[in-house]
Amino acid sequence: MLGLNGFVHDRRFENLVRTHLRPVRTYARSMASTSTIAEDAVQETFLRAWQYLDSFRGAGSFEGWLIRICRRCVHDLESKEHRAREVAATQVPRTEAPDHRSETLEVAATLPLEQREVLVLCGILGYDYEAAAGVLDVPIGTVRSRLHRARVALAEALDESEQATA
């Protein structure tokens, strides 16, 4: 039987949730920083448990297994939320002395994607070469050369823009 959003409707899943919802929800609410993260963790816990039900070995209690899954879900969601807050904080406009930031961003937007990615990771977000290489799954030397080309292209474009307005 097909349920909402294409999910298979299964009474066994409903019973699993009904039987173990209270302890899982209690754990999530006590560990998560927000109620939204707690509720998302509860939902994700039951989805993961259902997906990997055959991996339960019976060595401990089933509820303990669910709580371990919930623990990982809370951790994952908290980490994701933390990263989102960090990114948002770097995007807050600064009220310092005026600069040519908007012009620089406009010019940077015209760079090839590979150069723009490295410029954003290293130049704006402050990643070191090794971290940027990990994100992009390329060698460190590739990050260095792309960043060099991006900086040269950016400087040339800004010089041309400056000369055109002079």
Output the pLDDT for position 51: 92
Which pLDDT band, with edges at 50, 70 and 90, does 98 fall under?
very low
CATH, range 4-90: 1.10.1740.10
Q: Exposed e or buried b for every residue in 18-27, given b needs 16+ CB within 10 A?
A: eebeeebbeb
Residue 69 has a CB neighbour count (10 Å cut-off) of 20
| Predicted structure pTM score | 0.50
Domain covering 101-159, topology? Arc Repressor Mutant, subunit A (1.10.10)
**Rounded Cα gap, residues 28 and 21, in angstroms:** 10
**Residue ranges covered by each domain of the chain:** 4-90, 101-159
pLDDT digits 0-9 by tens, 22-55: 889 988 888 888 899 999 999 999 999 999 988 8
**Rounded Cα gap, residues 40 and 76, in angstroms:** 11
